[in-house]
Structure 1
């Protein structure tokens, strides 16, 4: 069931890939909600959630105080006419079943009816991520409100605080 989208969403990405709204990275690598070859844009409902989602995907050698990367925090505004599907409305699934999640996301993208799919965060299941269909016509109306330099707090890498 689709509902209206309100507010903004966030992305946290390496500066060379910002703003990253073409879905190329997800298309090349695949993700929890898409297979390789399927272009989507992963966003978080808050910048804090993006920090957690990004940090857990950093290679272990980058999770040190000396190696923490500088990122770009991107606040994204979805068009007022955008709609959002809730993944739970598409049936039951086991969040730890990555293949099932990818199948759901791939089918949703193939339908092409709605710009955004709301999915639970694997890290904080009570929080929501949005998956944007990069091929949806409304992607052309998605705008970047601001982009800021973002540095991870060294305490995430074990520094004394």
Structure 2
């Protein structure tokens, strides 16, 4: 399965995680965020950057995840009300699930609904899992956000 990530050019040569808090992880928990398609990766960047810093110094990463790698999936029906709210409460709900997944080391991949478009999926990759070595950065290519989106 191929998944997609849009990142600044300086981070586009390898798969790395910052360890900064995001929707599905608390500070100090390392996660690589990707999406099931390029368009969702673009929307996630637009929402989280609020239109700032979306210059031409970005790359679209194509990441190959072998089908044999174990995956965990959270469906919207498995999550409590408010999980997709764009506030601290929504993020705290998701972080609880994501942090527990990371602690458990039960799988290298977590598939979650996008808070933007809930019937599309974000793909979280645990770089500290033993199966991470089987995940490959297949392609890194320049990416520009269409100016009409800004």
> So what's the TM-score if we normalise by structure 1?
0.82
- Decide whether aligned partners of structure 1 residues 89 and 108 sit closer, same or farther in structure 2, where only a CA change above 3 A counts: farther
- The structure whose Rg is larger is 1
1:76-106 CA-to-partner distances (Å, cap 9, x unmatched) read: 0012321211113994323222101001100
Deviation at 1:120, TM superposition (A): 0.8
Asked if structure 2 preserves the Cα contact closer than 8 Å seen for 1:20 and 1:41, the reply is no
RMSD: 1.9
Could you tell me which runs of 5 or more consecutive residues in structure 1 were left unpaired when the two chains were aligned. Answer: 1-6
Tell me the residue number matched to 1:34.
Answer: 25
Q: Shift of residue 60 of structure 1?
A: 4.6
Q: 1:153 to 1:137 in 2, by over 3 A?
A: same
Tell me the equivalent position of 1:53: 44
Aligned length: 144
Find 1:72's aligned residue among 38, 46, 59: 59
- Asked whether the 8 Å contact 1:62–1:69 carries over to 2, the reply is no
Q: Given the alignment, which residue of 123, 129, 136 partners 1:136?
A: 129
**2:16 maps to what in 1?**
22
Q: Which runs of 5+ in 2 are unaligned?
A: none
Contact 2:14 2:137 in 1 (8 A): no
